[in-house]
Amino acid sequence: MEVVRQNQDSFQIEVLTAFNNVDLLIRQAVEFKPNLVVIGNENAYEKVSAALQPLGIKVYSGPKSIEWAVQMDTIDIVLTAMVGYAGLLPTIKAIEAGKTIALANKETLVVAGDIITRLASEKGVNIYPVDSEHSAIFQCLVGEFKNPIEKIILTASGGPFRGRGIEGLSKVTKMEALKHPNWEMGAKISIDSASLMNKGLEVIEAQWLFGLNSEQIEVWVHPQSIVHSMVQFRDGSVKAQMGLPDMKLPILYAIGYPNRLPTAFPRMELSACMNLQFELPDRNTFRNLDLAYHAMNKAGNMPCILNAANEIAVKAFLNDQIGFLEMSDLIEFCMGKISYIGKPTLQDYIETDNETRILAQENMRQFAILAK
């Protein structure tokens, strides 16, 4: 919304969606006057409708309405920012309708990267990354598309628990985990960042976005979050993209590409960035990163299992049902139990997601006992 406010000659909000955040959705719709809004929670329809229909704004509800809305003829680009697996089907519908995708929902590629990339190629649809790390890689590759990548380095802040060992993480609370040192994010992605699962999901996303294998994707911890990622080419040259930790920049780059539109956003002062640090992640303590690499290398429906189990584990941690470290135990358990499918269809992904969630819910208690 802030990006559009500063570039109202370039962008018009046509559709807004939310799931539960009714009051914010209403305020945004009153300001930006989209053609329609969709509230995912059908129980909230009456409140949203009463507030917006007198203004001439159409109101719909439910997940199916989101899938329909993204196909509208008046839409040029769809910014997909739904949380988790929920973003998969709407993104597929948008691609099928030929819409350019600004992708902030990494789980879409984690779960079904093969289907998404193949469908985008068939439909001639561009997918522009919005995650700051992948936006950085994308920006570094502009003008370099004929030059093969040797490797990429995805940077991670290290989250609020950087430097802590296993003992130090055994009693952390959700309030501690939600306090990210550099970024303002929602609850789910904040927990993923604290556990390094967010970086694991980004590794899988990078594989699909840039056509890489696991040996070409490294993760470095960079506490300042100034260098958002780097690309190393076969001649040994390394390009890095730098900027303040602010999601408005990658959003603007994705929806404005190939143009860099003017903004009044704060600028980075290089004099304040003289002591940038880089270190390797502690993969023995933060096991989610290795679980993600394993899922990527196994391929098939294994990344889908990883993602579904993680979504249940994060929810359980936020509800004080399991401990911080036990999230990894629950994810690993599910990855070892759900049937592996080497070449899954979309229906296979849907069934894998559902089966994994059921398994994680049914076995959560044993990990809660371990946590106590």
The reported pLDDT for the residue numbered 370 is 57
> At which of 99, 129, 159 does a domain end?
129
Are 141 and 244 found together in one domain? yes
pLDDT of residue 179: 86
Instruction: Please say whether the dihedral angle defined by the alpha carbons of residues 130, 132, 138 and 143, taken in this order, is positive or negative.
Output: positive
Q: At 170, is the pLDDT very low, low, confident or very high (cuts 50, 70, 90)?
A: confident
**Nearest alpha carbon to residue 61 among 75, 46, 81:** 46
Q: Identify whether residues 125 and 144 lie together within a single domain.
A: no
Same domain for 267 and 148, yes or no, is: yes
pLDDT tens for each residue of 231-251: 999 999 999 999 999 999 999
pLDDT for res 181? 74
Pair 254, 306 in one domain: no
Whether 147 and 225 map to the same domain: the answer is yes
CB-based contact 74:96 (threshold 8 Å):
no
Q: How far is the C-alpha of 372 from the C-alpha of 360, rounded, in Å?
A: 18
284/178 same-domain check: yes
CATH code, 354? 1.10.1740.10
Q: Could you tell me if 105 and 81 are in contact, meaning their C-beta atoms sit under 8 angstroms apart?
A: yes
266 with 155, same domain? yes
- Dump pLDDT digits (tens) for 298-356: 999 999 999 999 999 999 999 999 999 999 999 999 999 999 999 999 999 999 999 99
Specify the DSSP element, H or E, that contains 111: helix 107-123
* Structural domain span for residue 255: 131-295
Mark which of 235, 267, 295 sits at the end of a domain: 295
Residue 25 confidence (pLDDT) above 80: yes
